[in-house]
Chains A and B, each alone.
Chain A
Amino acid sequence: DVVMTQSPLSLPVTLGQPASISCRSSQSLVYSDGNTFLNWFQQRPGQSPRRLIYKVSNRDSGVPDRFSGSGSGTDFTLNISRVEAEDVGVYYCMQATHWPYTFGQGTKLEIK
């Protein structure tokens, strides 16, 4: 199975400051068709996960543009340009290139 490793696992951030989460995969996430199926999810306390980013850098509908994704191959990053109070929660990366799909351990974002 592909192992997804996130860092940090805990991320205290001051309101209005940027935040960055790293996600590394144990093997390349480039699919045979050239796509890279790396997703980012946000899970607010008590809620279902919500997808933010698909195929590395594409924002889902309704996702604020302060969220951005980047990376390639085995190394990926989720950036939040200016953290707001509603961004508190756990963030997960997930690869959908190889079966079985696998998630990172989660990064808990909190406000300092």
Chain B
Amino acid sequence: EVQLVESGGGLVQPGGSLRLSCAASGFNFNKYWMHWVRQAPGKGLVWVSHINSDGSSTTYADSVKGRFTISRDNAKNTLYLQMNSLRAEDTAVYYCTRANSGPDIWGQGTMVTVSS
């Protein structure tokens, strides 16, 4: 079964850091680009970042550029999102998605709450 399982979310103070992980299974992880998409409570979906299949190319939304870093370990079939200098407006459920003419497979999401 094709599956994405996120972890690493939690409560963090403004200015703090978190690293999200996404474990992939059931498909050839190293063949696919991957994305992170987030959803603030009660709000819509917002694309955050993507990474190509070998990790050599990354792109970020302006709202997270310079603070977030996407990476992957193809040997471990795992996608990461390192989030630094977190702000209250980063509070959201973060979804890991597989790229296949757009996000086709989504994880269950992990909640990140930035609050003092």
Residues of A within 8 A of B (CB): 35, 37, 39, 41, 43, 48-51, 54-55, 60, 92, 94, 96, 99-106
Residues of B within 8 A of A (CB): 35, 44-47, 50, 59, 61-62, 95, 99-104, 106-109
Query: Apart from A43-B45, A51-B102, A54-B104, what are 18 other A-B pairs with CB-CB below 8 Å?
Result: A37-B101, A39-B103, A48-B106, A48-B108, A49-B45, A49-B103, A49-B106, A54-B102, A55-B101, A92-B45, A96-B102, A100-B59, A101-B50, A101-B102, A103-B44, A104-B44, A106-B44, A106-B45
Report chain A residues within 8 Å CB of B61.
100
The list of the 9 closest CB pairs from A to B, nearest first, reads A96-B102, A39-B102, A101-B47, A48-B106, A103-B45, A54-B101, A106-B44, A51-B104, A100-B61
What secondary structure prevails in chain A residues at the interface with B?
A: loop
